[in-house]
Amino acid sequence: MSVHYARVWGGKALGGSVAISGSKNTCLPIIAATLLTEETCILRNVPQLTDIFCMIEVVRRLGVAVERLDAHTWSFEAKAVAAYADRTFVERFRASVCLLGALLGRNRRASMPVPGGCKLGSRPIDIHLRAFRALGAEATQTSDGIDLHAERLTGATFSVAGPRGSTVTGTLNAILAAVLAEGRSVLVGAAREPEVVSFCAFLQKMGAKIEGAGTDRLAIEGVSALRGADFTIPSDRMEAGTFLILGLLCCDALRIINAPREVLCGIPEILPQIADYCRWEGEDLVVRRGEFPPIEVSAAPYPHFPTDLQPQMTVLASQIAGTSHVRDTIFPDRFTHIDAFRRLGMDIKKTADDTIAVAGKTALCGAEIAATDLRAGAAMYLAGLIARGETTIFQKEYVERGYENFEEKLLALGAAIEYTPLQMQQETSNAGNTPIIFRTDSAHNIFQKTSE
């Protein structure tokens, strides 16, 4: 178990303002897309996250000239791009899978190890490979990795739907390969997530011809070259959703600055009373704690409730009188966190392969627990903040993959937290293509910023 931890003292009412960072799952594939042009791309509002740093390091190792213009602004210039992505960073995060489509589109060949990422159960890439094959590529997958090769890529009509609905990164990969293919492609069963829409907006700025973003049918007219683009990453709906649930749990008034409108996706269906506890003030969402009847949550592809907020919603369910049900139709095995939740006192039973029943309202009590993945880790902070006494969350580096300055943001809301600092920090550099160095901070270097 890692020595990186956060200690949370719960039971306080929180409140104040929190600004949402750039969207991780929008930014990661967009960095991959910068491989599709020789011209410079500027990305703004890039969140400082370990997954993002890993993706930047992977593209730098592929030959891209990467420059950090300020804390959240980066430039990428891919004059020449290698076809092979080495294992060091690729295996650390899931979105590296998008390099397959980008490298195939750019070089007509790609080779890399199987991507890593949070363990949410089975995460096959058969639909990605099916899409590449439909466009004319030969695709092989072995235990060592994936190889793609195409004499030419030719537009085609194909499906990116799978047994559990559309695939987000599968859709992104198909788009990456199709925008520089010859002729017209039609993607049926495409993912409709806002992250896909923003990704298409970036490619359109680069000169790609894409119609239907946000629907399940995308039409792409291949072009012979793409140009550079300057793009601002929109704010992260999963981070905003996590703070929204925090607000409903324990905040007198929490202002979520620059909340994306999609943050409410699926939530009013689960919590019709949410309107009584949250209101829009311009671009900000102001939330306060509430009392709710039992909820029925079923995570499914957009526009339904997101799987990436399922563990956080389980924490809220534990604070509702009566029995709530939480189901995940996308990742039925995404319940590895319930053992940790039970240690805090939650009353949770598995009622079906993809469903848990949560009985409430339970008084939570601090315990030592370990994050099992990124979103579950964030949910453990929420649980710790409403538990009596001290909760220690180990393996907090999962959370640093997707939440920028999470502890600092919670501290600013009045939370009492002590934590080891960011496990992997980037040595910033403005010197062109200087390697990005990760350093691991000493476990003894504790940031202690507890409040009364």
Pair of tokens at residue 4 = 């990186």
> Which among 122, 144, 132 has a CA at the least distance from the CA of 99?
132
Verify binding: residue 286, ligand EPZ, rule CB under 6 A: no
Pick from 21, 107, 307, 391: which binds ligand EPZ (CB under 6 A)?
Answer: 307
Contacts of ligand EPZ in 344-403 (CB under 6 A): 374-375, 402
Does position 111 interact with ligand EPZ (CB under 6 A)? The reply is: no
Look up 118 and say whether it is catalytic: yes
Selected catalytic residue, list 118, 200, 251, 278: 118
The two three-digit tokens of residue 452, written as one number: 């009364």
Nearer to ligand EPZ by C-beta: 7 or 128?
A: 128
Burial class (CB in 10 A: 0-12, 13-18, 19+), 380: buried
* Helices and strands in the chain: count of H runs, count of E runs: 15, 28
Cα→Cα distances 297→228, 249, 267, 269, 374, Å: 42, 17, 9, 9, 20
Binding mask 15-34 for ligand EPZ (x = CB under 6 A): ----------x--x------
Beta strand 5-9 with 390-394: parallel, antiparallel or unpaired? antiparallel
φ, ψ at 355 (rounded to 5°): -140, 140
Closer by beta carbon to ligand EPZ, 265 or else 415:
265
Mark residues 63-102: x for contact with ligand EPZ by CB under 6 A, - for none: -------------------------------xx-------
Please report, as residue ranges, which positions from 187 to 246 form the binding site for ligand EPZ (by CB under 6 A).
none
Q: Does the CA dihedral 165-170-174-175 come out positive or negative?
A: positive
For position 158 contacting ligand EPZ by CB under 6 A, the verdict is: no
The interface mask with ligand EPZ, positions 241-280, x = CB under 6 A, is: ----------------------------------------
Residues 115-144 that bind ligand EPZ (CB under 6 A): 118, 120, 122-128
Min dist. Cβ of residue 323 to ligand EPZ (A): 26
Q: Among candidates 217, 208, 143, 212, which has minimal Cα distance to 187?
A: 217
154 DSSP 8-state letter: B
Sole binder of ligand EPZ in the list 34, 96, 107, 167 (CB under 6 A):
167
Report if residue 46 touches ligand EPZ, rule: CB under 6 A.
no
> How near is the Cβ of 431 to ligand EPZ at its closest, in Å?
29
Written as one letter, the residue type at 4 is H
CA atoms within 13 A on the CB side of 212: 16
The gap from C-alpha 163 to its chain's centroid, in whole angstroms, comes to 22
Q: Which one of 106-114, 168-176, 423-431, 437-445 is the stretch in contact with ligand EPZ (CB under 6 A)?
A: 168-176
Least distance CB 129 / ligand EPZ (angstroms): 7
State the DSSP string of 337-381.
THHHHHHTT-EEEEEETTEEEEEE----B--EEE--SHHHHHHHH
Tell me which of 60, 164, 184, 342 binds ligand EPZ, using CB under 6 A. Answer: 164
Distances (CA, A) of 74 to 53, 96, 231, 239, 259: 11, 18, 10, 21, 23
- C-beta of 14 vs 267, nearer to ligand EPZ: 267
Q: Of the two residues 122 and 448, which places its CB atom closer to ligand EPZ in the complex?
A: 122
| Min dist. Cβ of residue 330 to ligand EPZ (A) | 5
The beta strand positions in 87-126, using DSSP E, are 109-112
Residues at the contact surface with ligand EPZ, assessed by CB under 6 A = 25, 28, 94-95, 118, 120, 122-128, 162-164, 167-170, 307-308, 330-331, 374-375, 402
Q: Which residues are catalytic?
A: 118
